[in-house]
């Protein structure tokens, strides 16, 4: 997966609604994805990586109290992921607690690293390009 230079092929059906259950040592949580027409490549990417067990066994390598937990890095230090970047699919979101977004850097939107806001983060709406792709619907505690 780390060798892919382009985002993955389409595996989702744009007419269906998708969720993911994330299993952690602190309990499970469920992400309900936004309508795939809003962030089609981001939702497809997360589903594809999940179906191919990319996220299995990875840790949340970044925890910022009151702000976010971030995971999806196979190296576990914030620098890993596939060789591709996702396109900008920034969309309207107020970034409330429990929002799922893709991490980004000066190089572009991450291919695998994602974060969950653990507090309201409305400043993310204007502070960069973060593809909002879902909302935690259970397990935030």
Residue range 8-52, pLDDT digits in tens: 999 999 889 999 999 999 999 999 999 888 999 999 999 999 999
Per DSSP, what are the bridge partners of residue 23?
28
State how far the alpha carbon of 141 is from the alpha carbons of 29, 91, 111, 138, in Å. 9, 26, 27, 8
Rounded distance between C-alpha atoms, residue 67 and residue 41, angstroms = 25
pTM score of the predicted model: 0.94
Dihedral sign from CA coordinates of 55, 99, 42, 125? negative
Phi, psi of 126 (to 5 degrees): -125, 5
């Amino acid at each position: 997966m780390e060798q892919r230079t382009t985002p993955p092929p389409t595996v989702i059906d744009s007419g269906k609604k998708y969720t993911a259950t994330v299993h952690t040592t602190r309990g499970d949580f469920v992400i309900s994805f936004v309508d795939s027409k809003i962030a089609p490549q981001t939702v497809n990417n997360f589903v594809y990586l999940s179906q191919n067990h990319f996220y299995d066994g990875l840790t949340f390598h970044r925890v910022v109290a009151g702000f976010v937990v971030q995971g999806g890095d196979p190296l576990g230090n914030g620098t890993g992921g596939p060789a591709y970047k996702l396109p900008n699919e920034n969309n309207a979101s107020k970034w409330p607690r429990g929002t799922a977004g893709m991490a980004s850097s000066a190089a572009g939107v991450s291919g695998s690293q994602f974060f969950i806001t653990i507090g309201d983060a409305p400043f993310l709406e204007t502070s960069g390009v973060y593809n909002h792709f879902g909302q935690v619907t259970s397990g935030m505690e």
